[in-house]
Structure 1
Amino acid sequence: MTTLYIDADACPVKAEAERVATRHKVPMKVVSNGGLRPSQNPLVETVIVPEGPDIADMWIADRAGPGDVVITGDIPLAAKCVEAGARVLKHNGEALTQANIGNVLATRDLMSDLRAADPFRQGGGKGFTKADRSRFLDALERELRAAKR
Structure 2
Amino acid sequence: MDQRAGQVWVDADACPVPIKEILYRAATRSKCAVTLLANHAMAVPPSPYLSFVQVPAGFDVADSEILKRLDSCDLVVTQDIPLAAEVVERGALAISPRGERYTAENAKARLAVRDFMSELRDSGINTGGPRPLANADKQRFANALDSWLAKRSRSPHTGA
TM-score, normalized by length of structure 1?
0.91
Shift of 1:22: 2.1
% same residue: 39
Structure 1 counterpart of 2:37, one-letter code: V
1:101 maps to which residue? 107
Task: Determine whether 1:90 maps to 2:80.
Answer: no
Residue 137 of structure 1 is aligned with which of 139, 142, 154? Answer: 142
Number of matched pairs: 148
2:45 maps to which residue? 39
Structure 1 counterpart of 2:6, one-letter code: T
3-state DSSP of counterpart to 2:142: helix
CA RMSD of superposed structures (Å): 1.5
Residue 65 of structure 1 is aligned with which of 63, 71, 77? Answer: 71
The 8 Å contact of residues 66 and 85 in structure 1, kept in 2 or not, is answered as yes
Runs of 5+ in structure 1 lacking a partner?
none
Shift of 1:35: 2.6
2: distance between equivalents of 1:102 and 1:146?
A: 26
Runs of 5+ in structure 2 lacking a partner?
156-160
Structure 1 counterpart of 2:134, one-letter code: T
Shift of 1:76: 0.7
2: distance between equivalents of 1:138 and 1:5?
A: 17
1: distance between equivalents of 2:133 and 2:15?
A: 11
Residue 146 of structure 1 is aligned with which of 143, 151, 159? Answer: 151
